[in-house]
Amino acid sequence: MDLELGGRHVLITGGSKGIGYACAEEFGREGARVTLVARHREGLDAALQRLASQGVECRGFAADLTQADAAQGMVDSVYRESGNVDVLVNCAGAALRTPFDELTPQAWRDAMQAKFFTYIHVMDPVIKRMGAAGSGAIVNVVGSGGKVASPIHLPGGSANAALMLASAGLAAAYGPAGVRVNVVNPGITLTGRMNEGLAAEARLRHIDTQEILVQHQQRLPLRRIAQPEEIANAVVFLSSTRASYITGAVLSMEGAVVPMVV
């Protein structure tokens, strides 16, 4: 299926690793121009080098997206140097997973800053420009923790829930301007963040991380943990014209571990 993404300009936050990097690879295979954003220049440069070796047209910007001014400056630079953004994929930022008995008020504030505002600080200036241009697609990679409360992910889950609400609201607000906004909610996925979550759960339950990993696999109806590329495939489809009537949607990708109607 031709997703008609050739030549499109895709901005991916958190694009130097994990799901964000997998998205960059998939967009590159579709012939899109890719701009990555990451906090650390070293990891960003390594990702750009790997993408370039695969023939992907790419460039990158280092920015701390928890800071609104830094995010605005990055967006201004992207538009000035690479042109209009056709697709925005938000993957940057992750709230620390913390057992509930270790939480403090600061941990709750940190989670909102790390997850919610890293998305909002980029979405706000980009969606306004997309609206003025009359077209655009945004996909926010959020997380299933915003729908099912976990005792080791309460602040992060709260930030995820807020992002889902913001995404649905922006989809309704900007639909008349030709801009679509969707959410993909991965469950446990084979990334570096997975290891952090396993460590937090191990502290809470006082058992080995490997044992927890096996338990997670056994709970999944598919009996395996998702690969970043599988999440990326859904993101790329939702960004394409093949998904032209999908907006305001929240796509669950947790492998049916919580069988529910949403």
Structural domain boundaries in the chain: 9-253
Question: Are 107 and 96 contacting, i.e. CB atoms less than 8 angstroms apart?
Answer: yes
pLDDT tens by residue, the chain, 262 residues: 789 999 999 999 999 999 999 999 999 999 999 999 999 999 999 999 999 999 999 999 999 999 999 999 999 999 999 999 999 999 997 777 777 888 899 989 999 999 999 999 999 999 999 999 999 999 999 988 777 778 777 888 899 999 999 999 999 999 999 999 999 999 877 776 666 666 667 676 777 777 777 776 778 788 888 889 999 999 999 999 999 999 999 999 988 877 766 6
Second-level CATH architecture of 9-253: 3-Layer(aba) Sandwich (3.40)
Residue written as token pair 């998702």? 226
Q: What is the pLDDT of residue 261?
A: 66
Tell me how many degrees the CA angle 42-45-48 measures, rounded to the nearest 5: 150
Q: What is the pLDDT of residue 82?
A: 95
Residue written as token pair 């925005």? 88
Residue written as token pair 């044992």? 211
Q: What is the pLDDT of residue 197?
A: 65
Going 161 to 166 to 171 to 172, the CA torsion angle's sign is positive
b/e sequence 226-239, b meaning 16+ C-beta within 10 Å: bebebbbebbbbbb
* Helix segments in the chain, DSSP class H: 18-29, 41-53, 68-82, 105-111, 117-133, 154-174, 192-205, 209-219, 228-239
